[in-house]
C-alpha cells in the first residue's frame, strides 16, 4: 500500500507529541473534545406548567432543542432539526406547547426568531427578513400566544417594537422607535420607558405616554451609566425596580414609585454591586438577590424563599443558580456551578423542600482530572483590588495553598467586554491549560463590572494604559509569588482580551513569551469607524469610555492606544484567530495587523473561519482553533499537547499566514 508522505509526517508529529505528553506527567490528557465540544445537555428549562423540560443537546453533532417529561429527562426527543451552527438561545412560550429559539447566519448576529409547535412539529420563522436583526423585547404570561420583537428593518440603527403571534406569525407594530437605544415594556405589553444616550455618554430615560408623547423621567450621568439600569415593574406597573449607583459607589437594588418618585433601597452591599434579582413570576415581588465578589451568594428578602435557599445550600457544594421556574413558582430548576466538575441540574419541589438530581452538562468531565479554581486578590500599583482567579496543574500544589512547588509556565487569559467580569466556576480554558502544564490566571482588571462604579470608571480612556498596567501588575505578582516563570508567560483572550493580547505583544513586548489573539481590535479608529449600525445609539458611551473617533484630537488619542501603531515592536510569536463575518470586530482588524507584520517580515500565524463571527460557535471550528493554540503554546511555553490529529475535520479553518510557524499546522491543514 502506498503511504502519503504528508500522512507520514503527521504521524511522526503525533507520536512525538504523545511521547512528550507521557514523559512530562502522569495526569492523563483531557481530550479537547471533552472540554470544547458540544455539551451533553445545556440551557435546561421547565415549561411554565412544570410538566415538561427542555434543553439543548446534540443531534447528529449539532445542538438542537429536546423536550421530555419534567420527571424523566432521559425520555426527551428533539423538536428542532438544525444542521448548521446549532441552537444556543431558546425559551418556553407561556402556551406550554411552543418553544421559541433564535438563530443567526454564520455569526452575522442578524438574529431570526423561530417558533416550534410541539404538537404539530411545525417550525415557523417569525422574522423572515434578510439582513435584519431581531431582538426579544417582551414575553408575558398575560398574553401566552404573543411576544414582543424588536426589528431594525425600517432603520438599521433602531429597533421598532412589534407584537407577534407565535402560532400564525401575524405581526402588529406597537411602537416606531424615534431614537432610543432601548425600550422597556411592562407585562401588558405597553411601552413604558425609552432609554437613550446623551452626547456626554450619560443616559436619558423618558416616560412613553399612551398618546405617543414623552415625559422626562431619569437622568443618569456618565459616571453611573454602566452601573445603573431599570430591571422590571411590579405587578401594578406603578413601581420600577432599579439597580442604582447614583449617589453611591456600589449599585443597590431599589424600588422607585412612579407617581411620587420616592425611592427605597431593598438591598445593598458595600463591597459589590447587586447582581442577580429573583422576582416572582406573576406577583412580581422581589424575593432574593445575589452578590458576587469572588463567589456568588444568594440573599433572601422573602422568608419563604429563605427556607428554599437554605435547603438548596445543603444539596451541592457549588454556586447556585435558579435557572427556571414554573408560573405558580412551585417548582424550580436549579443548577450548581462547580470549579472542578460539570454543572449539576436538579428539579426542586418547593413544598416538599426536595431537590431531585437530573443530569450534568458534560458527563465525561465527571471522572476527568479537573483542578480547583482559587480566588485571589491582587493589588494594583495604585492600590485597586483586582479580584482574580488562579488555577494550577494537578499535583503541583500539594498543600492546596494556590502556590506550586516551583514556578510554572503561565498563561494570563483576559476576559472580553471589557465591561464584563471573570467569575468562579468550571472554566474550560483554565482546565485545558492546567491539564497541559500551565498555571492560568484571569484578572478582573479595572473596568470589569460588579465591583462598583469607581472601579468601572477607573478604566475610562485607559485602554492600553492603566487597564493593561493591571495585567502587568498581576504578572509581576505571580512572578514574585513564585507561581510563574518570568521567561514563560503567555497572554491570550478574545474580543477586548484579544486587544489586550495585541497590546501586550506591542507595548510590553518583553513581558510575554507569546500571545493568542481571538477577534481582537488592532486599530481603535477603524474599530469604532466600523461598528454595527445598531450600535450607533450607544456610540456616546464608547466615545466617553474609549475615545472620540470624530475629531482629529480624538483620532490621535485612539491611534496612540492602538497596537497597530507599534507593530514593529513585536518580537515574540503571535497567533491570531478571526471570524470572517464578525459584525463587532471586523475581519479588517486582524487583516491589517497581519499585513503590517508581513510587510516587516515579522512572523505571525493567522487562521480565519468563513462561517464564524465574534468567536467560534460551531464545535468543529472551536476544536480546530484550540488544537492550533495548543500546539502553538507547547512550542513556545513547553507544555504538553494532544496531537492535532483529525481536529480540522468538518472545520472551515483557513490558514492565511504562518502555517510553518506552528509544528504540524501545515501538514494538518493540507499545506494551506
Nearest to 205 by CA among 251, 157, 147, 261: 261
Instruction: Return the C-alpha cell found at 526.
Output: 477603524
CA distance 653 to 659: 12
Q: Is 216 exposed, middle or buried (0-12, 13-18, 19+ CB in 10 A)?
A: exposed
pLDDT given at position 5: 31
SS3 at position 65: strand
Please give the residue range of the domain that contains residue 574: 369-523+562-668
Which residues in the chain land under pLDDT 50?
Answer: 1-16, 18-24, 672
User: Which is nearest to 147 in space by CA: 135, 131, 165, 129?
Assistant: 165
Helices (H), 514-670: 524-529, 539-545, 552-560, 587-599, 619-637, 665-668
pTM for the complete prediction?
0.95
Is 495 tagged catalytic?
A: yes
Q: What is the mean pLDDT of the chain?
A: 95
> According to the model, what pLDDT value does residue 6 have?
29
Cell numbers linked to 175: 411602537
Please measure the distance between the N-terminal and C-terminal CA atoms of the chain and give it in whole angstroms: 26
**413/567 Cα distance (integer angstroms):** 21
Whether 614 sits among the annotated catalytic residues: the reply is: yes
β-bridge mates for residue 376, sequence order: 388
Task: Compute the distance between CA of residue 76 and CA of residue 99 in angstroms, rounded to an integer.
Answer: 14
In a domain, 642, yes or no: yes
Instruction: Give which of 500, 514, 509 is closest to 561, Cα–Cα.
Output: 500
Closest CA to 570 of 504, 648, 487: 504
Prior bond of 418 cis (ω within 30°)? yes
Any idea what the CATH number is for the domain that residue 567 is in? 3.40.50.1820
Q: Is the dihedral of CA 391, 397, 400, 403 positive or negative?
A: negative
Residue 629 placed within a domain:
yes
Query: Within a domain: residue 9?
Result: no
Residue 641 lies inside a defined structural domain of this protein: yes
Total count of residues recorded for the chain:
672
* pLDDT for the residue 670: 79
Catalytic residue among 582, 622, 624, 669: 582
Give residue 26's pLDDT.
Answer: 81
Q: Which residues pair with 468 in a beta bridge?
A: none
Which tens digits make up the pLDDT trace of 417-434? Answer: 999 999 999 999 999 999
| pLDDT tens by residue, 492-547 | 999 999 999 999 999 999 999 999 999 999 999 999 999 999 999 999 999 999 99
Q: Which three cell numbers stand for residue 363?
A: 458527563
Catalytic hit among 495, 622, 651, 669: 495
152-195, pLDDT tens digit by residue? Answer: 999 999 999 999 999 999 999 999 999 999 999 999 999 999 99
Q: CA-CA distance, 548 to 539, in Å (whole number)?
A: 9
Enter the C-alpha cell of residue 29: 490528557
pLDDT on residue 2: 31
Q: Which residues contact 7 (CB under 8 A, 6 or more apart)?
A: none
In the β-sheet with 171-175, what is the strand arrangement from edge to edge? 134-139, 146-155, 158-165, 171-175
Task: State the Cα–Cα distance between residues 233 and 280, nearest whole angstrom.
Answer: 11
The verdict on residue 100 lying in a domain is: no
Number of domains observed in the structure of the chain: 1
Residue of 162, 415, 614, 636 marked active site? 614
- The answer to whether position 414 is within a domain reads yes
Q: What percent helix, strand, coil does the chain show, rounded to 5?
A: 25, 35, 45
Sheet holding 182-185, edge to edge: 182-185, 191-197, 203-208, 214-220
pLDDT of 203: 97
Is residue 439 a part of any domain in this protein? yes
Q: Give, as one character, the DSSP assignment of residue 23.
A: H
According to the model, what pLDDT value does residue 671 have?
A: 54
99 close to 115: Cβ distance less than 8 angstroms: yes
Classify strands 296-300 and 286-292 as parallel, antiparallel or unpaired.
antiparallel
Distance (Å, whole) CA 275 – CA 289: 7
**Is the residue at 196 inside a domain?**
no
Interatomic CA distance for residues 71 and 75, integer angstroms? 9
Region of residue 61 (phi > 0: left; psi between -120 and 50: alpha; otherwise: beta):
left
- Confirm if 621 and 62 have CB atoms less than 8 A apart: no
Amino acid at each position: 500500500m502506498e503511504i502519503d508522505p504528508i500522512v507520514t509526517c503527521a504521524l511522526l508529529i503525533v507520536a512525538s507529541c504523545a511521547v512528550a505528553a507521557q514523559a512530562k506527567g502522569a495526569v492523563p490528557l483531557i481530550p479537547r473534545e471533552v472540554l470544547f465540544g458540544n455539551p451533553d445537555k445545556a440551557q435546561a428549562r421547565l415549561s411554565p406548567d412544570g410538566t415538561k423540560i427542555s434543553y439543548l443537546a446534540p443531534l447528529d453533532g449539532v445542538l438542537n432543542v429536546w423536550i421530555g417529561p419534567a420527571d424523566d429527562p432521559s425520555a426527551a426527543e428533539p423538536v428542532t432539526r438544525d444542521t448548521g451552527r446549532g441552537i444556543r438561545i431558546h425559551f418556553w412560550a407561556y402556551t406550554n406547547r411552543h418553544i421559541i429559539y433564535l438563530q443567526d447566519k454564520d455569526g452575522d448576529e442578524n438574529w431570526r426568531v423561530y417558533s416550534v409547535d410541539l404538537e404539530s412539529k411545525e417550525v415557523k420563522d417569525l422574522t423572515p427578513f434578510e439582513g435584519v436583526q431581531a431582538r426579544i423585547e417582551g414575553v408575558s404570561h398575560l398574553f401566552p400566544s404573543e411576544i414582543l420583537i424588536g426589528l431594525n428593518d425600517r432603520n438599521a440603527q433602531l429597533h421598532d417594537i412589534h407584537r407577534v403571534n407565535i402560532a400564525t406569525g401575524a405581526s402588529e407594530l406597537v411602537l416606531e422607535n424615534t431614537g432610543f437605544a432601548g425600550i422597556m415594556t411592562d407585562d401588558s405589553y405597553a411601552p413604558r420607558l425609552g432609554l437613550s444616550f446623551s452626547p456626554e455618554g450619560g443616559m436619558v430615560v423618558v416616560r412613553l405616554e399612551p398618546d405617543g408623547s414623552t415625559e422626562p423621567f431619569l437622568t443618569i450621568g456618565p459616571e453611573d451609566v454602566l452601573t445603573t439600569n431599570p430591571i422590571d415593574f411590579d405587578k401594578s406597573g406603578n413601581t420600577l425596580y432599579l439597580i442604582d449607583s447614583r449617589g453611591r459607589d456600589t449599585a443597590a437594588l431599589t424600588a422607585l414609585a412612579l407617581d411620587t418618585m420616592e425611592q427605597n433601597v431593598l438591598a445593598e452591599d458595600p463591597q459589590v454591586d447587586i447582581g442577580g434579582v429573583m422576582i416572582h413570576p406573576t406577583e412580581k415581588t422581589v424575593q432574593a438577590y445575589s452578590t458576587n465578589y469572588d463567589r456568588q451568594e444568594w440573599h433572601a428578602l422573602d422568608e419563604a424563599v429563605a427556607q428554599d435557599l437554605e435547603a438548596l445550600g445543603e444539596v451541592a457544594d457549588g454556586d447556585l443558580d435558579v435557572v427556571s421556574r414554573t408560573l405558580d413558582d412551585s417548582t424550580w430548576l436549579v443548577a450548581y456551578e462547580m470549579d472542578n466538575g460539570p454543572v449539576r441540574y436538579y428539579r426542586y419541589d418547593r413544598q416538599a423542600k426536595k431537590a431531585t438530581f437530573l443530569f450534568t452538562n458534560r458527563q465525561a468531565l465527571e471522572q476527568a482530572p479537573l483542578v480547583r479554581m482559587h480566588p485571589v486578590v491582587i493589588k494594583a500599583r495604585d492600590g485597586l483590588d483586582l479580584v482574580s482567579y488562579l488555577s494550577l496543574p494537578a499535583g503541583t500544589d500539594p498543600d492546596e495553598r494556590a502556590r506550586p512547588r516551583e514556578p510554572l509556565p503561565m498563561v494570563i487569559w483576559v476576559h472580553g467586554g471589557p465591561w464584563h467580569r471573570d467569575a468562579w466556576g468550571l472554566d474550560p480554558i483554565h482546565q485545558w491549560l492546567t491539564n497541559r502544564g500551565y498555571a492560568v490566571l484571569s484578572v478582573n482588571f479595572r473596568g470589569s463590572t460588579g465591583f462598583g462604579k469607581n472601579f468601572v470608571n477607573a478604566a475610562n480612556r485607559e485602554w492600553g494604559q492603566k487597564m493593561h498596567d493591571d495585567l502587568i501588575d498581576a504578572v509581576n505578582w505571580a512572578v514574585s509569588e513564585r507561581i510563574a516563570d518570568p521567561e514563560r508567560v503567555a497572554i491570550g483572550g478574545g474580543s477586548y482580551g484579544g486587544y489586550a493580547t495585541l497590546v501586550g505583544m506591542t507595548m510590553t513586548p518583553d513581558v510575554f513569551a507569546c500571545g493568542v489573539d481571538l477577534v481582537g481590535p488592532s486599530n481603535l479608529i477603524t474599530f469604532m469607524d466600523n461598528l454595527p449600525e445598531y450600535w450607533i445609539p450607544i456610540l456616546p458611551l464608547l466615545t466617553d469610555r474609549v475615545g472620540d473617533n470624530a475629531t482629529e484630537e480624538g483620532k490621535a488619542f485612539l491611534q496612540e492606544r492602538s497596537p497597530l501603531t507599534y507593530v514593529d515592536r513585536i518580537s515574540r510569536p503571535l497567533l491570531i484567530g478571526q471570524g470572517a463575518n464578525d459584525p463587532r470586530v471586523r475581519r479588517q482588524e486582524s487583516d491589517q495587523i497581519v499585513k503590517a507584520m508581513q510587510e516587516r517580515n515579522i512572523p505571525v500565524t493567522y487562521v480565519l473561519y468563513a462561517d464564524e463571527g465574534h468567536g467560534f460557535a460551531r464545535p468543529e471550528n472551536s476544536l480546530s482553533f484550540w488544537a492550533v493554540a495548543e500546539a502553538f503554546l507547547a512550542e513556545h511555553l513547553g507544555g504538553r499537547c494532544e496531537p492535532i490529529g483529525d481536529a480540522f475535520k468538518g472545520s472551515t479553518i483557513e490558514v492565511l499566514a504562518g502555517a510553518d510557524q506552528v509544528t504540524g499546522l501545515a501538514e494538518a491543514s493540507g499545506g494551506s
